[in-house]
Structure 1
Amino acid sequence: MTNNNFSQVAAFIWSVADLLRGDFKQSQYGRVILPFTLLRRLECVLAPTKADVLAANEKVKLMALPEEAKEKMLLKATQGLAFCNTSELDLVRLGQKDIRSNLNNYIQNFSKDAREIFEHFKFDEFTGLLDDANLLYKVVQKFATTDLSPQRISNHDMGLVFEELIRRFAESSNETAGEHFTPRDIVRLTTGLIFGEDDDALNKDGIIRTVYDPTAGTGGFLSSGTEYVREHNPDAVIRVYGQELNPESYAICKADMLIKGQDVRNIKLGNTLSNDQLAYDKFDYMLSNPPFGVDWKRIEQEIKDEHTQKGFEGRFGAGLPRVSDGSLLFLMHLMSKMRQPDAEHDQGSRIGIILNGSPLFTGSAGSGESEIRRYILEADLLEAIIALPTDMFYNTGIATYVWVLSNKKEPERKGKVHLINATNLSSKMRKSLGSKRHYLTDEEIRTITQNYGAFEAVDTLTLDGESEQK
């Protein structure tokens, strides 16, 4: 499927919005379209083994087993899938008279991980609204006649379709998108910076790599990291991990990962700082866009307890920033997840995190922020800081920076920090999306990543090749 084709499929699915207009706000369209797209994709994937699952379910019903054990037996009948559904219904068979109750019954018969996604989408609430507006049957019919089978659209291409729908949803509700959705140009830039230095290693046979995002949002970084490695080495195994605080964003992320064949048990819901649900895991690559300038007062006691009781055995031994901004807490959290360097097995970790100016400039000598920065520099973990143009994000126009950290620096980078001024390198959008008025083209992203890879000192990056050498 070409880019044009997946865009056409996504546009066709998004045309459901024509039915919703007038009864739903524009910012609500995605809350209907995304879960219905997931539902249709899941039932198309399950169709070839549906009869086998139903037969297996008749046997399982007679066994006095816990739900988890029954589910494992049913999954065997799916021939390797990570989810199943034991209902005889599908979107075509829901009927019109009792469509809402039939649809709810259909959803409840999915296996636990898939069922949970619909719960966090608040799917029952929105199907109720659709039913009240006499739209539920029309929407169901629209999706029931849309072919989303693997024979037509592979997992990879279905992931692209879903990502395009997520983008449309974020843009239609751009007043809140910035909290849960990182613009795709920033995602591509950060991913290129983090993975680009490891191209040789990523092209080796039989590699297995892990990607983690502690503020996963809708899963943009996890998808982009997987995509980058896939383009370089289709046979590489990429396992994604993430945690997200917002239930709806968590549902979108988990749905996207399920569509792409990832193990969605690795996607967690909850506050990463106060309740790290992947506490004992280390990762190869980490990417994050934590919320800018958000205070951590509600979890202050848990953070301070970990700092005082565990010190450097915990995540926050280097110090604590002021309560009004938790950005550096996320950075220290990521640093605690780094694998120890091992040249023989290409171990060690790389981090890309997007921050505003506060972690760079806030705090005088001896403050928590200053002590954290001192620790990072003395440990020689900071590889580069890239200053981005303003007006790049949906919900803020302030200055932002990409920090690149690594505990496996190349010899020429040891003891140094590469500062890249890319503030003049952007293009103006035809139409603003919230506060986002500028974006990075592929050529502009390439200019930044090439300068980073070449480890060259210039005053200000431009596309015209006239950057003044320092």
Structure 2
Amino acid sequence: MTLTPDKSSEHGAASTLTLPELEHYLARAADLLRGSIDQADFKAYIFPLMFFKRISDVYTEEFIRALDESGGDYEYAAFAENHRFAIPDGHLWGDVRNRTENIGTALQTAFRAIETANPDTLYGIFGSASWTNKDKLPDRKLADLIEHFSTKTLSNASVAPDVFGNAYEYLIKRFADQSNKKAGEYYTPRSIVGLLINILDPHEGESVYDPACGTGGMLIEVIEHVRAAGGSPKLLWGKLYGQEKVLATSAIARMNLLLHGVEDFKIVREDTLRNPAFYSGNHLAKFDCVVANPPFSLKNWGEPEWASDRWGRNQLGGVPPKGYADWAWVQHMIASARPSTGRVAVVLPQGALFRQGAEGRIRKQVLQTDLIEAVIGLAPNLFYGTGLAACVLILRQTKPAERQGTVLFINGEKLFKRGRNQNTLQPEHANELLAAYQRYQDVDDLAHVARQAEIEANDYNLNIPLYVAPVQSGEQLTLADALVNLEAAHAHATQTRAALEAELAKWGLHA
């Protein structure tokens, strides 16, 4: 497709889209897929199309600007220096839009051409969806989708990066709500993400690493946190790192950061526990902040290789069990944290706090090394795909002097809003947990600062009710009262049975 001023004039005159308008536009695109694609797979199709439209419109916008600057020099306007991404001739959005048949093939060809032209930034970003499967996506369906996307201009002038990024996050959550169980593999509720990042409190210029980054929500929240604190997010460029095992999810994370305007980051698709991506020589790379919500109790995670781990992650407590990778993630994250400034926030199932055996040995050594700063219990059913209550473990390589030799326990099991399918941690709940962490002192029914001797007396069991009793509501029943009630219930049952037998005897029946 040859760009001309007439063909592209619509981009220059495009109106600015508000966030609600953009959200409605993107939601409508997803609705067009209903009946053809499983809801859990919507993201594999909608996100690549949305990204393709965005970079095509931005390319056109850049081309027109360069034409204006050069007095109409088309050769100059096509120079790579004038564009954020290279889009080979014949593979812009408009080129695919002009196709009336084999549209899936045209899309796939354009995606591969763009990835090849941008190997350092976009390679593999469009994923591996089945665009050429006409049983799922006939030309008519794809044409409808493309025409819908074509109703809006997604240039920078029309949609600022922060607005586009927020709309992208909205769509990620919408897909998570619809797929629910499968969403737990890639999406962490944003109120919980905010809690973790606020606790770690990353500053501009610090490095941040998420070893199970999903769709990149933790890294996006770091940017928002620094901006809200008055810092410059651009000082985070080149310091944001993520690793994600699933191809489609890692691609969504990369799109997420790019659409938020982040120009320099590193997200690698690979199995973190088996093949960590960030290292120097024989040592894992070190980061100021390490944060993650890894898969709960992952099975077959690489336990046989852990005993001889080349990175030495097993030095702190040994090898976790084959069926539970939770402490392997903790070991990896500790090994990835800087010796001085390193701090870690990780979401775990609460079972990891008290299971014995290999996990108990690791937990004991981590505690004896005085790395754990806080254990925060969360309410049940906050996460997609599991009704289990989770917890947040906060660790520091170097604790403040006044916190050394202690662990703060926070019981947040009552802090949630009940929902029909899933509970939610509301902003006021997250703020209460954050305030309890920052105070770092005993609060009745909420928080307790335990010294090492107290934890040792509990055999290094971190089960939160051992330290902060669950909130009790109403009058408490004594053992004597319970026995009286039991006897009364038994007597009532005996009377009821006697009445039933008497009634049956009238009819010549026996109980």
What TM-score do the two structures reach when normalised by structure 2?
0.75
Amino acid of the structure 2 residue aligned with 1:18? D
Task: Provide the rounded CA distance (Å) in 2 between the counterparts of 1:226 and 1:46.
Answer: 25
How far 1:123 moved relative to its partner?
A: 5.8
Amino acid of the structure 1 residue aligned with 2:300? W
CA 1:457–1:329: 2 relative to 1, 3 Å: same
Task: Provide the rounded CA distance (Å) in 2 between the counterparts of 1:170 and 1:247.
Answer: 17
Task: Provide the rounded CA distance (Å) in 2 between the counterparts of 1:7 and 1:406.
Answer: 40
SS at match of 1:217: coil
User: 1:219-240: per-residue Cα shift (whole Å, max 9, x none)?
Assistant: 1111112211121124242231
What does residue range 151-190 of structure 1 map to in structure 2 within 5 Å?
A: 151-190=157-196
How far 1:13 moved relative to its partner?
A: 1.4
User: 1:155-174: per-residue Cα shift (whole Å, max 9, x none)?
Assistant: 22211111111111111111
Q: Do residues 387 (structure 1) and 377 (structure 2) align?
A: yes
Q: Do residues 107 (structure 1) and 111 (structure 2) align?
A: yes
Task: Provide the rounded CA distance (Å) in 1 between the counterparts of 2:130 and 2:229.
Answer: 38
Q: Do residues 283 (structure 1) and 287 (structure 2) align?
A: yes
Task: Provide the rounded CA distance (Å) in 1 between the counterparts of 2:231 and 2:205.
Answer: 12
Which residue does 1:248 correspond to in 2? Answer: 248
User: 1:374-403: per-residue Cα shift (whole Å, max 9, x none)?
Assistant: 222222211100011111111111121100
What does residue range 74-223 of structure 1 map to in structure 2 within 5 Å?
A: 75-78=80-83, 81=84, 83-94=85-96, 95-98=98-101, 99-110=103-114, 111-112=118-119, 113-118=121-126, 120-122=127-129, 124-125=131-132, 128=134, 131-132=137-138, 134-195=140-201, 202=203, 207-223=204-220
Q: Do residues 421 (structure 1) and 404 (structure 2) align?
A: no
How far 1:121 moved relative to its partner?
A: 4.4
Task: Provide the rounded CA distance (Å) in 2 between the counterparts of 1:316 and 1:76.
Answer: 47
Amino acid of the structure 1 residue aligned with 2:298? V
User: 1:100-156: per-residue Cα shift (whole Å, max 9, x none)?
Assistant: 3433332233122324111x2426356x55642621111111112222211122222
Task: Provide the rounded CA distance (Å) in 2 between the counterparts of 1:75 and 1:212.
Answer: 31
Q: Is the 8 A contact 2:104 2:139 kept in 1?
A: no
Deviation larger for 20-29 or 387-396: 20-29
Q: Is the 8 A contact 1:34 1:166 kept in 2?
A: no
Structure with higher Rg: it is: 2
SS at match of 1:114: coil
CA 1:19–1:139: 2 relative to 1, 3 Å: same
Q: Do residues 442 (structure 1) and 427 (structure 2) align?
A: yes
SS at match of 1:386: strand
SS at match of 1:287: strand
Q: Is the 8 A contact 1:215 1:290 kept in 2?
A: yes
CA 1:261–1:123: 2 relative to 1, 3 Å: farther
SS at match of 2:186: coil
User: 1:339-391: per-residue Cα shift (whole Å, max 9, x none)?
Assistant: 121xxxxxx1111100012321111xxx4323322222222211100011111
Q: Do residues 327 (structure 1) and 326 (structure 2) align?
A: yes
How far 1:85 moved relative to its partner?
A: 1.0
Which residue does 1:296 correspond to in 2? Answer: 300
Q: Is the 8 A contact 2:243 2:270 kept in 1?
A: yes
Amino acid of the structure 2 residue aligned with 1:132? P
What does residue range 335-414 of structure 1 map to in structure 2 within 5 Å?
A: 335-341=334-340, 348-363=341-356, 367-414=357-404
Q: Is the 8 A contact 1:290 1:330 kept in 2?
A: yes
Task: Provide the rounded CA distance (Å) in 1 between the counterparts of 2:31 and 2:390.
Answer: 37
Task: Provide the rounded CA distance (Å) in 1 between the counterparts of 2:80 and 2:212.
Answer: 30
CA 1:421–1:131: 2 relative to 1, 3 Å: closer
How far 1:259 moved relative to its partner?
A: 1.6
Q: Is the 8 A contact 1:241 1:266 kept in 2?
A: yes
Deviation larger for 21-30 or 392-401: 21-30
CA 1:125–1:255: 2 relative to 1, 3 Å: farther
How far 1:276 moved relative to its partner?
A: 0.6
Which residue does 1:68 correspond to in 2? Answer: none
CA 1:397–1:104: 2 relative to 1, 3 Å: closer
Amino acid of the structure 2 residue aligned with 1:165? L
Amino acid of the structure 1 residue aligned with 2:159? I
What TM-score do the two structures reach when normalised by structure 1?
0.81
SS at match of 1:290: coil
SS at match of 2:207: strand
Say which of 225, 230, 246 aligns to 1:233: 230
Q: Do residues 32 (structure 1) and 36 (structure 2) align?
A: no
CA 1:453–1:302: 2 relative to 1, 3 Å: same
Amino acid of the structure 2 residue aligned with 1:20? L
How far 1:282 moved relative to its partner?
A: 1.3
SS at match of 1:149: coil
Q: Is the 8 A contact 2:303 2:320 kept in 1?
A: no
Amino acid of the structure 1 residue aligned with 2:242? G
Which 5+ residue runs of structure 2 have no aligned equivalent?
Answer: 1-16, 68-73, 448-470, 473-511
How far 1:218 moved relative to its partner?
A: 1.1
- Greater relative contact order (CA < 8 Å, ≥ 6 in sequence): 1
Q: Is the 8 A contact 1:356 1:401 kept in 2?
A: yes
How far 1:275 moved relative to its partner?
A: 0.5
Q: Is the 8 A contact 1:14 1:33 kept in 2?
A: no
SS at match of 2:332: helix
SS at match of 1:302: helix
- Between the two proteins, what is the percent identity of the paired residues? 27
Q: Is the 8 A contact 1:425 1:461 kept in 2?
A: no
Which 5+ residue runs of structure 1 have no aligned equivalent?
Answer: 59-73, 342-347
Q: Is the 8 A contact 2:291 2:346 kept in 1?
A: yes
CA 1:121–1:23: 2 relative to 1, 3 Å: same
